[in-house]
Structure 1
Amino acid sequence: MPDAPYPRERLILPWHLTWAEVNPARQPFDPDTAPAVIRSLPPSAAVPARPPGRSGRPEVYSWGQQQGTRWADEMSFAIVGHYGHWASGWRWGVGEADFNGGPVHAWCCPADSMGDPEHTLGVVTEALIEWRGWLEELADRFDRFLPLVVSGSADAGDWERAALHLVTVVVDRTCADGSWEGHCRQVLGWFLGLAGIPSERHEPLLDRSIDDRFDTFVTPSNLLIQDVAEQLGRAVTGQ
């Protein structure tokens, strides 16, 4: 993996991922070999023992925040070192997880997701495969709508249909749980970039169309999603 143009710690943060970094067409991955790869990485030989009991117990919570998180970080560095920056999303769990508001259901946080070494490595593998599957699903959805919005006859309605679809699937995948709106903006930004919209326009366009109306822990109504999609279509096309 080439040297990253930013601090090492950022390699495991999924919020900053660009589509160029996660595009599955550019990143080889074989889910069948993932279990063996995960078990071959150095952190797999040093999975810390989780204290028994519920994750809410003080000693379990403290362990998760300290030893568990240190181990998960080292596993993230190892996974990214093997697969590339795209793989950092394996810990982007739904709701109040290690990295809030993501689309991954298999992993939440060390206190909830870790157990004995075999269990822990299995969950890590499942989360990585789930994250990759989400990226592949998004790629398919992007491919479905891109021909409409980049055609010479594209209008606000074409953008509206694309945005309506993408927001809806992100809401469903993240369960509109804690900080879900951040990933929603990211996905829309990825689509804008693929459609040829300059990156400096992404934030203003999303600010104008969403206008702080997506709230954490709140599932947006169909009418709100429709209105946001309409606003984005108008903002992009000027119609």
Structure 2
Amino acid sequence: MDHTVSPWVLRWDEVDPGRHPFDGGPVRDFVRGIAPAVPARLTAAEEEARDWWDHPGEAWADSVTASLMDRYGSWAAGWRWAKDEGDFGGGPVGSWCCARHSLTSTEDTVARVADALVEWRGWVEELAECFDQYPLADLPEPERLQAWERGAIRLVHHVVERTAAGDAWYRHCAQVLTWFLARWGVSGDVAAGMVDRAIGGRFDSWMVPADTLVDDIAEHIARAATAANPSP
């Protein structure tokens, strides 16, 4: 397993809760058992002298990620996908920010990791439930077009709300739309291309998109998806 995977490249088959059972109850005990010693906090002078990414806690967090992925699967890589400018900016997770700010005492840090993993999993489960509210495989073509469009609009607004449209929020938004297409039979690479062309670089960090823009992007996705997966 590639433990260096970034969460924004995770495919739907890697995160689909239906394929990857999970019990969040024992997570904190598991993290406590596998986490290496938490590095001592740097002094203000040491922090100032280092680049943002050059922090001893990064290796610690990478080690924890590897253990979580080995135990739970690739989907667990998303536990660090923090909102705004965290370890992986633009994500949906609020329980973890980054090694620089989230590493404190051992017990508090273990709790943050466990909470972040459970939060990430809960978000993916929420998305899966949302996807399933649009049973696209069973609809005739005119209704499929409308369902694709309604689903895409809802998902964009859902991601905006979750990420607060912070730094690089659009990366996860594109991923969620790609997952939606993949859930209903559009292959991953094809789905990613559809979403990329529909968005066309029109989402920006720190900006909530206008409804007219969301509607236009959703319409482009719906038409492309309907053409790719016509009704039998």
TM-score of the superposed pair, with normalisation by structure 1: 0.87
CA distance in 2, matches of 1:162, 1:92: 24
Q: How does 1:59-208 map to 2 (within 5 A)?
A: 59-60=46-47, 62=50, 65-145=54-134, 147-148=135-136, 150-153=138-141, 154-208=143-197
Where 2:198 maps in the other structure, the secondary structure is helix
State the identity %: 43
Report Cα offsets for 1:145-195 as digits up to 9, x if no partner.
1x1465234332221101001111011111111111111111111111111
Aligned partner of 2:34 among 16, 38, 41: 41
**1:137 offset after TM fit, Å?**
0.4
Q: 1:151 to 1:73 in 2, by over 3 A?
A: same
Q: 1:80 to 1:47 in 2, by over 3 A?
A: same
Given residue 116 of structure 1, which amino acid in structure 2 is its aligned partner?
Answer: S
- Establish whether residue 228 from structure 1 lines up as the match of residue 228 from structure 2: no
Given residue 36 of structure 1, which amino acid in structure 2 is its aligned partner?
Answer: D
CA distance in 2, matches of 1:126, 1:235: 38
Say if 2:55 and 2:99, in contact at 8 Å, map to a contact too: no
CA distance in 1, matches of 2:156, 2:137: 16
CA distance in 1, matches of 2:111, 2:28: 7
Q: For residue 9 of structure 1, what is the aligned residue in structure 2?
A: 4
Unaligned segments of structure 1, at least 5 residues = none
- Establish whether residue 32 from structure 1 lines up as the match of residue 19 from structure 2: no
Where 2:7 maps in the other structure, the secondary structure is coil
Where 1:131 maps in the other structure, the secondary structure is helix
Query: After TM superposition, what 4+ stretches of structure 1 lie above 4 angstroms from structure 2?
Result: none
Where 1:15 maps in the other structure, the secondary structure is helix
Q: 1:78 to 1:202 in 2, by over 3 A?
A: same
**1:42 offset after TM fit, Å?**
4.3
Say if 1:50 and 1:116, in contact at 8 Å, map to a contact too: no
CA distance in 2, matches of 1:14, 1:202: 17
Report the aligned-residue RMSD: 2.0
Aligned length: 225
Report Cα offsets for 1:200-236 as digits up to 9, x if no partner.
4223311332121111222112221122112222222
Report Cα offsets for 1:66-123 as digits up to 9, x if no partner.
2111111111111111111110100000011101111101111011111111111111
Say if 1:41 and 1:78, in contact at 8 Å, map to a contact too: yes
**1:58 offset after TM fit, Å?**
4.7
CA distance in 2, matches of 1:64, 1:116: 21
Unaligned segments of structure 2, at least 5 residues = none
